[in-house]
Structure 1
Amino acid sequence: MALISLLAYLIMVFMNKSNLAGLIVGVIVAAILTGQNIQNLAAIFNAALGSFLGTIGLIIMFGSGLGYLMNKTKVSHTLVYWIVKKIGVNSEKKGMLAIMVSSIVICGLLGTLAGGNAVIAPVVIPMVAAVGVTPTAVAALLRVSGEVGLMVGPLTGVTIATMGVTGLSYGKLMLWAVIPFSLVWLVATWFAVLRIQKKYRGKEAYELTEDMVDIKTIDISKGEKITTIVFLISFIALVAYGIITKQGTEYAIIVMLILSAIISLCGMISNIMKLDEAISVFVDGAAQMTNMFLVFIFFEAMFTMINLGNSAAGCHTNYRFFVPDRQHGRTVGDCKNK
């Protein structure tokens, strides 16, 4: 019976309602079906905050805050500039390669597909448009490369969640799953884009707007270069330490905060921003993912009640109530006479 709450959630989603709206309905249905009172619901949500899904939601929020700081201090833009300049975009294929590498790196660092590609697009589109890469080809490359970046990035929500569920280390996950899959996906996309280019070459083209950036006019300051280099060194060192010492999911939280502190400090030294501004930027970025955080919390609450409802099937005339299992970091149910 408790699975009806999951059905209610799916119906809301198929009605084009948001995930959070569907989950709210699902939680209400689950609470009614499992007979949860206000006190039990409070305990369920309290436990959800410290659950695995709650941790993933917090990591995504902190990652968004870090991404905003990277954009504010021009770390993201500097990385894109370096990648594009190193490749030297003077042909269609080099333009396609620049898009793929930039998207994988930036989306993997920022942990967001839309946010990462939004940083890349204004810089790379004028260049690839000049060598004849079509809008359809660019869209396909950004989408696939960004998704690969989310899977490859060591601190993205996708990677951390997969490691937590499977119990695999980052190295094993990359070696046996992500890298083989990504190579197949990227190679297939490359050939698909070549066909797209052949079909649409000369038939569609970009109309450059004022928000596009001419890479020749980009001037990377000394402070931006130093901040980017310090960020990359810190990022690699922290990830390497986490892999060597086999840190758990929660390690990503402190990594996000340390990297945010490092970028903020570099930004203050370079007079890019002040302390209060850095904190505001981080908070504003994290706030953009509040909806996602709540989605994870409500998912955990709904799944908890579904589990309770399924277990309660063996209680017959008894009453099912919620019990937080603090020792094992999970929630369980118990049977008790009415």
Structure 2
Amino acid sequence: RVKFGIVVSSILICGSLGTMAGGNAIIVAVIIPVAAAVRLTPPTVAALMMTAGSVGLFTGPFTPSTVTILSLGGLSYPDYLLYVGLPMSAVTLLAGWIMAGRIQKMTEGKLRYDVDLSEKPKEDLSAAQQRRRKLSALAFAATIIVMAVVGVVIKAGFSFAIIVMLLVALMTGLVGGLRPTQILQALYHGCGRLVWMFILYWLYNPILELMDGLHAYQGLLEYTQPLLEGISPAWLCFSIFAFNIIGHVPGAAVAQMTFTHKIFGPMLMAAGVPPQGTTAVLLASSQVDWFGPFPSSDMFGQMGLAQST
């Protein structure tokens, strides 16, 4: 049940906020003590958060990948979920759940969280403080739900997630009795832990600009295009998928998705691949490399949050 709770909470928070690092960073403070109580190991928690956070990004209405893929593939959001998002999420969840179980068996008794809940002093809260805690939790959930609905209605881009996170922090803090200065201090403290990840993604931009300016992908396409001509649509889709795994850009799924559509989109259309198939290729080829075979910043991010190695 704890594993199921971790998966559900991670899917909801990451899908609502449109960020795996930020979403799981919010809930990990609650997850770790609960996981420690039932003796889940850090690698198991990292695997569950990585799997569930990915599913949240596959299915969230205004996550970067969803917004980009809807504009490139030409599908509506319900069609995207039906033909692409939910099928890939089901495969990802099944594989992640099985591997989390295997990881738990391999690491149980060897790795553990250094959390002793029995030594934690019990807080003596007044009725007013308990009520305020419950109200702040409700404000947190209600704000996310309302903003998610608003995002779907107005077809917001992934930058809308920044507004969502700031508004959620403001509403939760105010209802919880914090002053604006205290809310800002809490934001600074939380952001400070992940500033390295922000710098990492920021440094990706010059690399992507250089690759685009040098026409690296276009040159590779000119070399491989004769090899792809005449094959069936199914094998063409698989070849593009395999190409993106080998030549993936870690942590830059949106950029890779855009490059793939720009380079291989006309070829897929000429081969008679329907929009649903093209969208599936774009999503799979830009997201599946999160799980290997090469290490990625997303892996390290979730390992760090889960205190894993």
Whether 1:167 aligns to 2:89 is no
| 8 Å contact from structure 2 (residues 7, 48) kept in 1 | yes
Does residue 7 of structure 2 align to residue 106 of structure 1?
Answer: no
1:192-203 aligned at under 5 Å gives the runs: 192-201=99-108, 203=109
Contact 1:123 1:214 in 2 (8 A): no
Task: State how 1:216-295 maps to structure 2 within 5 Å.
Answer: 221-244=130-153, 247=155, 249=157, 252-254=158-160, 256-257=162-163, 260-261=166-167, 263-265=169-171, 267-268=173-174, 270-274=176-180, 278=184, 281=187, 285=191, 288=195, 289=198, 292-293=201-202, 295=204
Instruction: Write the deviation string for residues 87-107 of structure 1: whole angstroms up to 9, x where unpaired.
Output: xxxxxxx12212222322333
Structure 2 SS opposite 1:160: helix
1:131 paired to 2:1: no
Residues matched between the structures, number: 212
**What is the rounded CA distance, in whole Å, between the counterparts of 1:278 and 1:106 in structure 2?**
21
Return the TM-score normalized by structure 1. Answer: 0.48
Q: Find the partner of 1:152 among 59, 79, 95.
A: 59
Shift of 1:215: 11
Q: 2-side partners of 1:122 and 1:212: how far apart?
A: 17
Relative contact order (C-alpha < 8 Å, sep 6+): which is higher?
1
Partner of residue 93, structure 2:
186
- Cα deviation per residue 1:74-129 (whole Å; 9 max; x = unaligned)? xxxxxxxxxxxxxxxxxxxx122122223223333444434444444443333333
| Alpha-carbon distance in 2 for matches of 1:299, 1:139 | 28
**Once structures 1 and 2 are overlaid, which stretch shifts more, 176-185 or 287-296?**
287-296
Q: Higher strand proportion, which one?
A: 1
In 2, the alpha carbon distance for the partners of 1:195 and 1:284 equals 32
- Structure 1 residue 301, shift from structure 2 partner: 7.0
Q: Is residue 6–residue 31 contact of structure 2 (8 Å, CA) maintained in 1?
A: yes
Query: Quick one: distance in 1 between partners of 2:145 and 2:187?
Result: 23
Shift of 1:179: 1.4
- 1:111-164 CA deviation, whole Å, 9 max, x = no partner? 443444444444333333333434443332222122222323333323333333
Secondary structure at 1:138's aligned position in 2? helix
Does structure 1 conserve the Cα–Cα contact (< 8 Å) formed by 2:144 and 2:164?
A: no
- Matches of 1:148 and 1:123 in 2, distance apart? 20
**Paired amino acid for 1:183:** A
Amino acid at match of 1:299: L
**CA separation of 1:269 and 1:119: change in aligned 2, threshold 3 A:** closer
TM-score (normalised: structure 2): 0.51
SS in 1 for 2:187: helix
The Cα shift of 1:184 comes to 1.5
Cα 1:300–1:228 change in 2 (3 A) is: farther
Amino acid aligned to 2:180: K
In the alignment, the residues of structure 1 paired with residue 100 and residue 88 of structure 2 have an alpha-carbon distance, to the nearest angstrom, of: 18
User: Which structure dedicates a bigger proportion of its chain to helix?
Assistant: 2
Residue 114 of structure 2 aligns to which amino acid in structure 1?
A: L
Considering only CA atoms, is the larger Rg found in Structure 1 or Structure 2? 1
1:169–1:243 contact (8 Å) kept in structure 2: no
Structure 2 residue 211 is the aligned partner of structure 1 residue 299:
no
Tell me the distance in 1 between the aligned counterparts of 2:146 and 2:23: 22
* Coordinate RMSD, CA, aligned: 4.3
1:208 is aligned, of 98, 102, 114, to 114
AA of the residue aligned to 2:141: L
**Mapped partners of 2:210, 2:124: distance in 1:** 48
Quick one: distance in 2 between partners of 1:291 and 1:212? 39
Q: Which amino acid aligns with 1:177?
A: V
Secondary structure of 1:143's aligned partner? helix
The answer to whether the 8 A contact 1:123-1:213 is kept is: no
In structure 2, relative to structure 1, the CA distance for the partners of 1:121 and 1:270 (3 Å cut) is closer
Percent of pairs identical after alignment?
29
Structure 1 unaligned segments of length 5 or more: list them. 1-93, 311-338
CA distance, structure 1, for counterparts of residue 20 and residue 32 of structure 2: 17
